[in-house]
Amino acid sequence: MSWFFLALLGYFFLAIVFVLDKFILTRSVQQPVVYAFYSTIFMFGAIILWPFGAELLQGQDWAVAALSGLAFGFGLWAMFLAVKRGEASHVNPFIGSVVSIGTFALAALYLGESLKSLQVLGMLVLVFATFLLSVRLTKNGLGLYKGFAWALVAGLLFAVSHTAAKYIYEAYPFLTGFMWTRVFTGVVGLVCLYSSHVRRSFVRPSRGRTMERCKNCGFGKKHAVGTVITDKVAGIVGVVLIQYAIARGSVTLVNAMIGLQYAFMFLLIYLLTRFAPRVFHEKFAPREVSFQIVAIALVILGSALFVVQ
């Protein structure tokens, strides 16, 4: 079951990426559209895979690859908008719930995927766990977070992207499918160029420019570029591992495992908040911590059910 361990490692890298995303969007890159541009435009670089055996697509498969790539790029943009408005430990798990449910429905409808009874139970447990990770406890009970609408859009777009990518992976070698879906993601970067915030980010701020104006330029911190590069490298590793796991296994199961990513992310955020609050800080009420520990236990249970034969 090598796809399981590939997905596990991939989600660990993406958990690190999500923490860095929140850090960058609150400390360095003030405009989500700017971050979306730098997260997608370099996807055109996937064309370097061409000499290593990637092939041309045929007929309508170009449209499917374009759908996968564009949905992924716009999903990133919507996710950055949601993360900017809410807390990463709540926003991203909700996106994961939508991805799991959406992928299950789309894969069953268009790819003919079916799951064993225990695997269905495992997916349902994971969906419930990611729901628990996504809500916050308030004095009036359970509450939703800011950015709910954008998180919903992001989850649906990612589900479409992953399902379309699985279709391509079943018809072509992995390198071919990965290259063309990522190249089409780069097109989203071109769309972002219509934003004046993105164009301003190309101009080096003068010494006399105020902090408020720098916020509108894009990068407002001295070490932002290095942080973004680190984030993108980790993101590339995570995405490659997840896409390869999708190519090797079930797209429904791989995406249902996304709960592991949020368990990793919650632990990272909690540890940083507890021991390095100057670097990263989110508010955690005692009841909320207990609530989310239960969710993490359910994540482990749900993932274990996937490997039962």
Report which of residues 71 and 286 the model is more confident about: 71
Q: Tell me what the mean pLDDT of segment 145-165 comes to.
A: 87
Average pLDDT over the chain reads: 80
Q: Which residues contact 286 (CB under 8 A, 6 or more apart)?
A: none
Percent of the chain past pLDDT 90, that is, above it, reads 26
Report which of residues 249 and 57 the model is more confident about: 57
Lowest mean pLDDT among 24-28, 121-125, 268-272: 24-28
Given a contact cutoff of 8 angstroms between Cβ atoms, the answer to whether 181 and 172 are in contact is no
CB atoms within 10 A of CB 52: 8
Return the SS3 of 138. Answer: strand
pLDDT of residue 197: 87
283: confidence class by pLDDT, cuts 50, 70, 90? low
| Phi, psi (degrees; rounded to nearest 5) at 142 | -80, 140
| Phi, psi (degrees; rounded to nearest 5) at 250 | -90, 130
Lowest mean pLDDT among 63-67, 86-90, 169-173, 222-226: 222-226
139: confidence class by pLDDT, cuts 50, 70, 90? low
71: confidence class by pLDDT, cuts 50, 70, 90? very high
Half-sphere exposure of 179 (CA within 13 A, CB side): 17
pLDDT of residue 213: 43
Report which of residues 131 and 294 the model is more confident about: 294
pTM of the predicted model as reported, rounded to 2 decimal places: 0.78
Q: Find which of 26-30, 229-233, 301-305 is predicted with most confidence, using mean pLDDT.
A: 229-233
89: confidence class by pLDDT, cuts 50, 70, 90? low
* Token pair listed for 164: 């379309």
β strands within the chain, DSSP E: 136-138, 141-143
pLDDT of residue 177: 93
* Token pair listed for 167: 């279709």
Given a contact cutoff of 8 angstroms between Cβ atoms, the answer to whether 118 and 305 are in contact is yes
Question: How far apart, in whole angstroms, are the C-alpha atoms of residue 17 and residue 23?
Answer: 10
DSSP assignment of the chain = -HHHHHHHHHHHHHHHHHHHHHHHHHHTB--HHHHHHHHHGGGGGGGGGGGGT-----TTHHHHHHHHHHHHHHHHHHHHHHHHHS-HHHHHHHHHHHHHHHHHHHIIIII-----HHHHHHHHHHHHHHHHHH-EEETTEEE--TTHHHHHHHHHHHHHHHHHHHHHHHHS-HHHHHHHHHHHHHHHHHHHTTSHHHHHTTSPPPTT--HHHHHHHSB-STTHHHHHHHHHHHHHHHHHHHHHHHHHS-HHHHHHTHHHHHHHHHHHHHHHHHH-TTT------HHHHHHHHHHHHHHHHHHHHHT--
| Phi, psi (degrees; rounded to nearest 5) at 141 | 115, -145
Percent of the chain past pLDDT 70, that is, above it, reads 80
Q: Tell me what the mean pLDDT of segment 241-256 comes to.
A: 85
Q: Tell me what the mean pLDDT of segment 126-150 comes to.
A: 69
Q: Which residues contact 178 (CB under 8 A, 6 or more apart)?
A: 46, 49, 240, 243, 244
Q: Find which of 39-43, 164-168, 277-281, 298-302 is predicted with most confidence, using mean pLDDT.
A: 164-168
Given a contact cutoff of 8 angstroms between Cβ atoms, the answer to whether 119 and 184 are in contact is no
Report which of residues 107 and 66 the model is more confident about: 66
Place of tokens 């949905």: 71
Domain definitions of the chain by residue range: 2-306
Report which of residues 301 and 291 the model is more confident about: 301
Residue 134 identity (one-letter amino acid): S
CB atoms within 10 A of CB 54: 21
Given a contact cutoff of 8 angstroms between Cβ atoms, the answer to whether 23 and 227 are in contact is yes
Each residue's pLDDT tens digit, 110-125 = 888 877 888 788 888 8
Q: Tell me what the mean pLDDT of segment 229-246 comes to.
A: 87
Does residue 65 have a pLDDT over 60? yes
212: confidence class by pLDDT, cuts 50, 70, 90? very low
Given a contact cutoff of 8 angstroms between Cβ atoms, the answer to whether 87 and 284 are in contact is no
